[in-house]
Structure 1
Amino acid sequence: MWNLFRAEWTKTYKRPANIGLFLVTLGIILLGFLGMVGISLYEGMDSQFAEQIRQLTLFPTSLQVPLIVLSQLGSILAIVFMSNSIGAEYTNDTWKVLLPRRARRSDFIIIKVVICLLFMTLLIAISLIFAALLGVLVNLIVGGDISNLEQFSASELFKSLVPIFMQLIVFSSITLLVTMASRSTIMGIVFGIVGNTIFSVAASLSKLAAKILPNLHISNLEANWLYDGEQKTEVIKRIDMAFGTPISLTTSLIVVGAYIFGSIIIGLVLFQRRDMAGQ
């Protein structure tokens, strides 16, 4: 399996779509910081806005920028990555050559999931480091302090990353199944993005859909993990109204877990019954 892992990782970092994911994510973060610098210069360094920018770009507060970007792009990143990872095997007939050499077809799917998590972890880590460096540069320009390490909390950062990873895992698992079933990269991307939008709309219109689909359950997990005090109470109250009834943390974990493991298991079963070349 180690040789398979190395081969898959080599394909992953050389795949243009994955390079594009890195560039787009880092580019959006860069534009955010450039925008803050530009407005600060326009408003004047002594303005209230410039002071707010100094506070926002002060480490570790500057990490909020990539966290916001990743939370908004998380599902799309997972969808594009996994659909290309699976779909490329159909396009190039790669697995038609590799399958006869492997006794366990499940190795391929397991490696795909592991590589996806590794790639996304690397993307998140680089985004955080990139934002921290940009924050330092911005503060050198606008004349503020570089950091306030007393505010840094590894546990709080981890809590903020958990919902992002949850999005990545859920939608990459669903996309894995859809791409395998359709044997198409395009179908995997289209269904993933459109399906995610439909899921969100359906969950907002129907209490039954809200209970079945993963979107609000992910929001429920975020509310329980990220917020405290009155803010947590208010957020959970809004989520319960969307559900039509209070939903426990355990229930949301079960639903989200069902989507993750269900999609992967069905994908494994599907792959065991046919090869990736579509024969």
Structure 2
Amino acid sequence: MGHRLDGKVAIVTGAGSGIGRAGALLFAAEGAKVVCADISGDEEKTAAEIGAAAVAVHVDVSVAADVEGMVTTAEERFGRLDILFNNAGIGGPKLLVTEQTEEAFDHVIGVNLKGVFLGMKYGIQAILRSGGGSVINTASAAGLVGWRKNAVYGASKGGVIQMTKAVALDYADKGVRVNAICPGMTWTGLVPDAKEHPDPPADVPMPYQPMKRWGLSSELATAALFLAGDDSSFVTGVALPVDGGYVCG
């Protein structure tokens, strides 16, 4: 067990699985108290695995009242908020833009972009009350480069990156750092096979990532930990690719 987040209180959205679950477990192992937020119900499992240093909250990140309540829970249960990991997200249907429905567009933007907006709207107020801290938003390599049949998803993640940069500037002199991680192809619940196989099969190559393998949730969690703690004290407004070299091409 490490000590990089001793005395800190963190919220992690999407904590029921994938990057969020890995982040919640890692933050707790490094000494943080963690609010595990998710809509799936699996946030209860993650919080139970952590123990007394965690609380589970059922949250739809696209609903303002849910997000405000999540932040209130952090302050009421643990007394403060230092770290907000806005990680919850969905993939949406992979279709040409002419085939996308308005309902699918609204849903993807609501979770991936509005959810980050609401998290920062309410979370930063609490972080300021604690004297400062860190916000980490999960964007995507798809927010940095185009992915075929992913116009809506890419737009949501590109929006997260631009919002991250703007909010970082707004709070740079107020003690709140705001950064984003940009996963490449990562073995999470957004990959259908990952729901049955906890680890990527060796016979599934990734030729379009220079490292020719899937990213792991634990690797994204480690990047989030760096941005959450004091090791990154002079880092803000960054969109950090964690993608096996994908966006270098």
Higher RCO (Cα < 8 Å, 6 or more apart): 1
Q: Which has the higher strand share?
A: 2
Larger-gyration structure (1/2): 1
Asked if these proteins are the same fold (TM beyond 0.5), I'd say: no
| TM-score w.r.t. length of structure 2 | 0.33
| TM-score w.r.t. length of structure 1 | 0.30
